Amino acid sequence: MKQTNRGLRRLAAAAFWVAVWQLAAMTVNLPVLLASPVETVVRLAQLIPTADFWRSVLFTLGHIAAGYALAATAGTLLAVLASRFAPMADLLSPLMSVLRSVPVASFVIAALIWVPSKRLSLLIVAVIVLPVVYAGTLDGIRQIDPRLSEMARVFRMTRWNRFRHIALPAALPSLGAALSTAMGLAWKSGVAAEVIGIPTGSIGEKLYKAKVYLATPDLFAWTLTIVIISAACTRIVRRGLKRIG
Amino acid sequence: MSLNCIGLTKAYGDKVVLDGFTHAFPEGRVSCVLGRSGCGKTTLLRLIAGLESPDAGRVEGLPADGLSMVFQEDRLPPQLSAAGCLRCVLRKSADREARIAEALGALGIDPASDQPVREFSGGMRRRVALARALVVPAKLVLLDEPFKGLDADTRAAAVAFTHRMLAGRTAVLVTHDEADVTAFDAVALRMG
């Protein structure tokens, strides 16, 4: 009952903001400045049946997912190494600080010189996600109870059991939060990279064209698509982590 | 071969906890270590277990196949069930589940329960920690106040089961209860 009430409240809140958006669009009354929710949904409904829509979605999704997976794996492995070897942590610390603070646009422009625009979003997502996952994993490893580690040593627990029953449960809350946050960042930075690099057949290219042709309903429809896919990806990551935990 | 502590010395800062401690714990018997709090009983167990290095001295006669231990704290992975806590320290074998069920059952813990040990009372957690130490087939068992926090009836059952499980094994039992010396037909060692 409590859950149903909460669901209803959330739905009501979403409906409220859609209504505000609709009212604002009606007040402005210029779709080129502000497309209404109805115009956005209608445009999205027109795009969905086209092959070009799905090609763009798959292109962007594929590159962002690949960059995310690469960075999540590398970030986790580097954090494990850093937790074991202090010099490794010292060595990685300035690199991670730089990766965290350099603006996405600077990375994108520099990366355009090094890689073809087709691979740009993959690289940018990896660079943005890496420090987030690294920090989350390192923090998670620090949550491992040293008394349980001692117990594991005395009982000569297998490596797998140490990982599964001691390390993972302790590290998962922090690692999980980092992986969820990183997924949102991956979509923001990945699409931003595509808008700057304009790789053919990407969502970024569609957003860029929408801007050039002042096709605001297209811009909103593609943005809604990004928000939906990003939220779905984050949910998949959270569900996966819940299953592991 | 007995377990020999030879000239063990350990200090934490200026505080000397053990100063040239020498003792032979007889093989296949329970030795009860008694003494006031802070006299170095737990430190002695930690040095024997290899969890800390002595400033001087050595331990001889440690079994090659490892040891088992009840720590001062329970040290159970909080998300695991009672059976899970035992399972994760035991290698797979045909009789593993039967041994787990026997040990937990004897100590009044339901081996089939899925309830995580973090939801257990202090006494229940203590019994799971004890069952874990006893179910591991190690020749050397170290027990640091294993019956701490148990009520009289539960303690009596735990003592009886522990006595049975320690038969033929070398055990060092840290306790504040003189009665344990008789209950375990143990060699008494008074420290401090």
Task: Tell me whether residues A150 and B67 touch, CB distance under 8 A.
Answer: no
Q: Residue B90: pLDDT above 90?
A: yes
| Whether A43 contacts A217, CB under 8 Å | yes
- Place A2 in a pLDDT band, splitting at 50, 70 and 90: low
Q: Which residue has the higher pLDDT, B40 or A3?
A: B40
Q: Residue A245: pLDDT above 80?
A: no
What are the structure tokens assigned to A97, written together?
């600080």
Which residue has 């763009």 as its token pair? A56
From chain B, pick out residues whose CB is under 8 angstroms from the CB of A147.
Answer: 71, 73, 75
Of A147, A153, A164, the CB nearest to B73: A147
pLDDT of residue A104: 87
pLDDT of residue A11: 92
CB pairs under 8 A between A and B: 39
| Whether B24 contacts B2, CB under 8 Å | yes
Nearest to B80 by CA among A166, A146, A239, A157: A166
| Whether A132 contacts A183, CB under 8 Å | no
Of the listed ranges A25-29, B45-49, B116-120, the one predicted with least confidence: A25-29
Q: Residue A5: pLDDT above 90?
A: no
Give the DSSP H/E element, type plus range, for residue A238.
helix A216-244
pLDDT tens digits, one per residue of B122-156: 999 999 999 999 999 999 999 999 999 999 999 99
Of A154, A161, A164, the CB nearest to B69: A154
Range 47-76 of B in CB contact (< 8 A) with A: 49, 51, 66-69, 71, 73, 75
Q: How far apart are CA A164 and CA A115, in angstroms?
A: 39
> What is chain A's length?
245
Percent of chain A exceeding pLDDT 70 equals 99
From chain B, pick out residues whose CB is under 8 angstroms from the CB of A165.
Answer: 77, 79-80, 84, 88
How would DSSP label each residue in A163-188?
IIIIIHHHHHHHHHHHHHHHHHHHHH
- Alpha-carbon distances of A35 from A22, A57, A212, B4, B90, rounded to whole Å: 9, 22, 16, 84, 64
- Place A1 in a pLDDT band, splitting at 50, 70 and 90: low
The residue extents of the domains of chain A are 40-244
CA torsion through residues B58, B64, B70, B76, sign: positive
Task: Tell me whether residues B71 and A151 touch, CB distance under 8 A.
Answer: yes
Per the prediction, chain B carries an average pLDDT of 94
**Distance (Å) from the alpha carbon of B69 to chain A's nearest alpha carbon:** 7
Q: How far apart are CA A227 and CA B147, in angstroms?
A: 57
Question: Domain A40-244 falls in which CATH fold?
Answer: MetI-like fold (1.10.3720)
- Place B191 in a pLDDT band, splitting at 50, 70 and 90: confident
Q: How far apart are CA A245 and CA B136, in angstroms?
A: 27
Task: Tell me whether residues B68 and A156 touch, CB distance under 8 A.
Answer: no
The residue-averaged pLDDT of B107-130 equals 96
The residue-averaged pLDDT of B44-59 equals 95
HEC assignment per residue over chain B: CCEEEEEEEEEECCEEEEEEEEEEECCCCEEEEECCCCCCHHHHHHHHHCCCCCCEEEEECCCCCCEEEECCCCCCCCCCEHHHHHHCCCCCCCCHHHHHHHHHHHCCCCCCCCCEHHHCCHHHHHHHHHHHHHHCCCCEEEEECCCCCCCHHHHHHHHHHHHHHCCCCEEEEECCCCHHHHHCCCEEEECC
A2 touches chain B (CB under 8 A): no
- Place A114 in a pLDDT band, splitting at 50, 70 and 90: confident
Task: Tell me whether residues A154 and B73 touch, CB distance under 8 A.
Answer: no
What are the structure tokens assigned to B34, written together?
């008694």
Task: Tell me whether residues A156 and B66 touch, CB distance under 8 A.
Answer: yes
Task: Tell me whether residues A155 and B66 touch, CB distance under 8 A.
Answer: yes
pLDDT of residue A243: 86
Q: How far apart are CA B71 and CA B146, in angstroms?
A: 8
A155 touches chain B (CB under 8 A): yes
Helix residue ranges, H only, A143-167: 146-154, 159-162
Of B67, B79, B84, the CB nearest to A154: B67
What are the structure tokens assigned to A162, written together?
């140490």
Domain B3-190 has CATH 3.40.50.300: yes
From chain A, pick out residues whose CB is under 8 angstroms from the CB of B67.
Answer: 154
The residue-averaged pLDDT of B63-87 equals 95
Distance between terminal CA atoms of chain A? 27
Q: Residue A107: pLDDT above 90?
A: no
3-state secondary structure of A158: coil
Per the prediction, chain A carries an average pLDDT of 93
pLDDT tens digits, one per residue of A41-68: 999 999 999 999 999 999 999 999 999 9
What are the structure tokens assigned to B140, written together?
């050397």
From chain A, pick out residues whose CB is under 8 angstroms from the CB of B77.
Answer: 148, 165-166, 169
- Alpha-carbon distances of B64 from A188, B8, B139, rounded to whole Å: 56, 21, 9
What are the structure tokens assigned to A101, written together?
């603070």
The residue-averaged pLDDT of A165-185 equals 93
From chain A, pick out residues whose CB is under 8 angstroms from the CB of B135.
Answer: none
Q: How far apart are CA B32 and CA B177, in angstroms?
A: 9
Task: Tell me whether residues B75 and A147 touch, CB distance under 8 A.
Answer: yes
From chain A, pick out residues whose CB is under 8 angstroms from the CB of B63.
Answer: none
